[in-house]
Amino acid sequence: MRVFVLDKNRKPLDPCQPARARILLKQGRAKVIRRYPFTIIMLDLEAENCLTHKHQLKIDPGSKTTGLAIVQNDKIIWGAELTHRGFQIKDALTSRRQLRRFRRNRKTRYRKPRFLNRKPPEGWLAPSLMSRVHNILTWTKKLMKFCPITGISQELVRFDTQKMENPEISGVEYQQGTLYGYELREYLLEKWNRQCAYCGAADTPLEIEHIKPLAKRGSNRASNLAIACHKCNQAKGAQEIEQFLSSKPSVLKRVLAQTKKPLADAAAVNSTRVRLYNELKFTGLQIETGSGGLTKYNRCRQKLPKTHWLDAANVGQVDNLRIEDYQPLLITAKGHGTRQMCRTNKFGFPSRYVTRLKFVKGFQTGDIVNAIVTKGKKIGTYTGRVAIRKSGSFNISTKNGLIQGISHKYCTIVHRKDGYSYSF
């Protein structure tokens, strides 16, 4: 991926190739200002004297992972995958709620619960959902500071259910075109976990199958469609599903339940997409939107692999993309810690004290450090997020696991804490 470049007044310039950045650093014309994403600042250049090109930031919002890509003239110059922590927030809030209710039920001195006096404001979203929106907004604003972005493309609608139910809403051409098949097929693949509904086969071509056969007055509605392998599709034929799965009652029960089951992840994403779209409008940039079916159509037409950042690059109107590097930046949201004054046991009672010191020996929890241990039982080089201790003996979370008891004397700062961890 390319390196972001700022002029001496911290205004964004066109990103450059890594080789060019190394030359500028070696000549002393630039210095590193940020490691993730890698950004350099020019010491002898101003934006007024440089020509910048148009860059489009493309976003593919997801329930667990969001894809980000920057495209310049159909060339992908930067990509990243942002992993959210919405499910961690939900679990933490559930745990806190359970402990609070458990204390109240013991008739202790804690206040009684209050009911019917807290009305959520209009447009309110749960904290686990808002965290996804805030993560994307944070990185959108960061990238706008590092790159001359002139527009944003967002995948606004994952599945166009109205056109799946009644394609003539926008004309017969959409029904007869290739995009309609991608819209419906992608929805069914997500709903049935990309495996055969009857035998569970995953590494085989899958076909769209009618649960209630058309020969027996079945419909083409999405609720009557499933994904099946060719063998199961041919074996079922025009049989009723109860007849076809008469010897497999557990599979029959699962399939019938799955037909009515909503997409939890899709529901979470769809509930945040419009909020994200409205928030992105405040950036002042031109916003382009596209559907999930169009994204997949663009990607499959160019025979690109299925990844979040390549899905993001194919959002909206795309001709033919050129990819400079297939190694995106992997970003994981970690948060900024908690405001608990003490840790609690499983019953909700205080168990240990939390130190008020945020910095120890110049480090704080969440910093990305590089530790080169030269003696002792843990000789080696370790890079990762650090968890500080008052004693000066830190823990470092690396790709290979947690390394405990590393002295601060061996640690050097790579990237200051910003609520995210990074890898490639």
Give the domain CATH number at 404: 2.30.30
Higher pLDDT, 103 or 194: 194
Please report the pLDDT score of residue 71 as a whole number.
93
Query: Is residue 172 predicted with pLDDT exceeding 60?
Result: no
Lowest mean pLDDT among 232-246, 298-312, 317-331, 350-364: 350-364
Coil, helix or strand for 119?
coil
3-state helix, strand, coil in the chain (%, to 5): 35, 30, 35
Say if 412 falls within a structural domain.
yes
Query: Is residue 354 predicted with pLDDT exceeding 80?
Result: no
The amino acid that residue 399 corresponds to is: K
How would you classify the pairing of strands 350-353 and 342-344? Answer: antiparallel
Say if 220 falls within a structural domain.
yes
Q: Are residues 142 and 286 in the same domain?
A: yes
Please report the pLDDT score of residue 191 as a whole number.
80
Say if 121 falls within a structural domain.
no
Average pLDDT over residues 72-82: 93
Q: Are residues 204 and 67 in the same domain?
A: yes
Among 189, 180, 188, CA closest to 160? 180
Q: Which of 312, 333, 354 is the last residue of a domain?
A: 333
How would you classify the pairing of strands 393-398 and 342-344? Answer: unpaired
CA distance 267 to 289: 19
Span 373-412, pLDDT tens digits: 998 888 999 999 999 888 889 999 988 889 999 999 999 9
Q: Which of 304, 333, 362 is the last residue of a domain?
A: 333
Q: Are residues 73 and 135 in the same domain?
A: yes
Neighbouring residues of 407: CB distance < 8 A, sequence distance ≥ 6 = 392, 393, 394
Contact (CB, 8 A) for 128 and 86: yes
Lowest mean pLDDT among 43-47, 160-164, 245-249: 160-164
Average pLDDT over residues 103-118: 67
Average pLDDT over residues 23-35: 93
Q: Are residues 30 and 69 in the same domain?
A: no
Contact (CB, 8 A) for 3 and 15: yes
Could you please report the per-residue DSSP string of 380-419? Answer: EEEEEEEE--TTSEEEEEETTEEEEEEEGGGEEEEE---S
Q: Are residues 171 and 307 in the same domain?
A: yes
In DSSP terms, which residues pair with 353 in a beta bridge?
342
Higher pLDDT, 199 or 269: 199
Q: Are residues 188 and 298 in the same domain?
A: yes
Say if 119 falls within a structural domain.
no
Contact (CB, 8 A) for 8 and 44: yes
Contact (CB, 8 A) for 28 and 63: no
Contact (CB, 8 A) for 140 and 283: yes
Q: Are residues 168 and 295 in the same domain?
A: yes
| Kind plus residue range of the DSSP H or E element containing 149 | strand 149-157
Q: How many domains does the chain have?
A: 3
Among 205, 175, 173, CA closest to 189? 205
Which of the residue ranges 85-89, 159-163, 262-266 has the most confident prediction, judged by mean pLDDT?
A: 85-89
- Average pLDDT, whole number, for the chain? 85
Q: Are residues 45 and 74 in the same domain?
A: no
Q: 372: pLDDT confidence band, cut at 50, 70 and 90?
A: very high
Say if 31 falls within a structural domain.
yes
Q: 117: pLDDT confidence band, cut at 50, 70 and 90?
A: low
Say if 214 falls within a structural domain.
yes
Q: Are residues 137 and 263 in the same domain?
A: yes
Q: Are residues 157 and 288 in the same domain?
A: yes
Structure tokens given for 328: 């995106």
Q: Are residues 62 and 133 in the same domain?
A: yes
Q: Are residues 91 and 233 in the same domain?
A: yes
Please report the pLDDT score of residue 178 as a whole number.
45
Say if 293 falls within a structural domain.
yes
* % of the chain surpassing 90 pLDDT: 37
Average pLDDT over residues 164-180: 47
Q: 262: pLDDT confidence band, cut at 50, 70 and 90?
A: low
Please report the pLDDT score of residue 171 as a whole number.
47
Domain that holds residue 101: 53-113+126-333
